[in-house]
Amino acid sequence: MVVSDYFTPTSGGDHAFTLDATKVTFGRGAMAELGAHAKGLGMTRVGLFTDPRVAALAPREIAEKSLRDAGIAVSVFDGVVVEPKESSLQVAIRFAADGGFDGFVSVGGGSVMDTCKAANLYSTYPPEDFLDYVNPPIGKGKHAPGPLKPHIACPTTFGTASECTGIAIFDFEEMDAKTGMASPRLKPSMGIVDPENLKTLPKGVVAANGMDVFSHAVESLTARAYTSRPAPEDPAIRPLSQGANPYSDLGCLEAIRLVGENVVRAVEEPDNDDAFEKLMFAGMLAGIGFGTAGCNVPHGMSYAVSGLVKDYRAEGWPSDHALVPHGFAVIVNSPSVFRFVGETVPDRVLMAAEALGAETEGVNKKAGDILADHLIGLMRATDVPNGIRGVGYDESDLDALTERAWPQKRVIDNACRPITKDELRSMFEGALSYW
């Protein structure tokens, strides 16, 4: 069900939204089709991006064999860093620029796909300054000046849905800040989404991915309506984050339902193929949804939680440095934010709660509390950190977290109502712990 009243036109607001979903092939065994799809896109010499862990696993092997069997030359770059940094992007960009490639393939999680997007952009259209393509306020936010080389994204996780979006995220070390690039031309030419690729995920990674999918979907559902976003000067170039719309609503509600029914099963039963297939489909649906509607406050807060990490290390990720995995960095904020936005869009928050499996009939709670409380139950059942305190922060960090998150206006301003800096701090305070 779509709450159509939410899309009532507003003065100066847009009257339309643009659907620009990535072509996706979904299904078990789809990775073996990679060579045929690459050949169909005209690729003859491919730069294959992956990370050191995935490079040793079956998906990379299957991908490379399929490309070579199709007569395509392949050079492998396995130096992608989890949670990419500007320095790691520069290495990837040099590889892409020196390789003479006419196409790219990424096999891995969001870090791999985002690194490949950036390498494609910067090697195809080298800017005068690295920050030219980087999102404001850190960079100039320029769009890619023309089409990029074809890129087939093959996820081995299901949380980021980077195969569906024109966004690439990285840590800008000079400012110790998480930022990124956003342009419709960054979207991969296609995604190959094969549930078989999830077989080696540790349980913590499964939980983080599931929570990221869920927050993508609810954030898209509770984003400002596309009709309240200022109409673009050029209707041919609407922003990537267009605001909630009937199309994104449908996919995101189904994604929420699939996460609610399957995330605990997948964490507890690593051989449950049915649960993993449904979660991967949910990730794709949420990716298409937020690729059109855009995320909002939980993701804006997550960049601060990731960027200011102290000594937190999560099981299932590299332990040689402190790291708050993206899915955890998002979800530790989400219950606090949902309580807040529930006061503005209670109907939409209640829809999300019902889709997640929460009891809503006759419950004497506010909509935001119903959704937040049910989510907290899932967080506990999947061993997710208990709020931002669970990843190493306390009251003394609230001001620093707020200052770091506040510049993330691309997502914060996409919320269902304007957010003040004091309100952002209050949401961080509400996210300290939940149980």
Three-state secondary structure call for residue 80: coil
Tens of pLDDT along 183-217? Answer: 889 999 999 999 999 988 999 999 999 999 999 99
**Paired tokens of 134:** 């980087």
Tens of pLDDT along 215-229? Answer: 999 999 999 999 999
* Mean pLDDT on 326-344: 97
Q: Report whether 216 contacts 291 (CB < 8 A).
A: no
What pLDDT score was predicted for residue 22? 80
What pLDDT score was predicted for residue 42? 98
Q: What is the mean pLDDT of the chain?
A: 94
- CA 156 distance to own-chain centroid: 14
Same fold, 4-15+200-430 and 29-193: no
Q: Report whether 29 contacts 66 (CB < 8 A).
A: no
173, 174, 179, 180: CA torsion to nearest 10 = -90
Give the position of tokens 């922003």: 239
Confidence category of residue 1, pLDDT binned at 50, 70, 90: very low
**Paired tokens of 130:** 């690295």
Q: Report whether 161 contacts 291 (CB < 8 A).
A: yes
C-alpha span between 183 and 382 (Å, rounded): 34
* Mean pLDDT on 103-129: 97
pTM (whole model) above 0.85: yes
User: Which residues are 168's β-sheet partners?
Assistant: 181
Q: Where are the domains of the chain?
A: 4-15+200-430, 29-193
C-alpha span between 431 and 384 (Å, rounded): 13
C-alpha span between 250 and 252 (Å, rounded): 6
Tens of pLDDT along 273-308? Answer: 999 999 999 999 999 999 899 999 999 999 999 989
What pLDDT score was predicted for residue 4? 64
Q: Report whether 328 contacts 431 (CB < 8 A).
A: no
In CATH, the architecture of 4-15+200-430 is: Up-down Bundle (1.20)
Which fold would CATH assign to domain 29-193?
Rossmann fold (3.40.50)
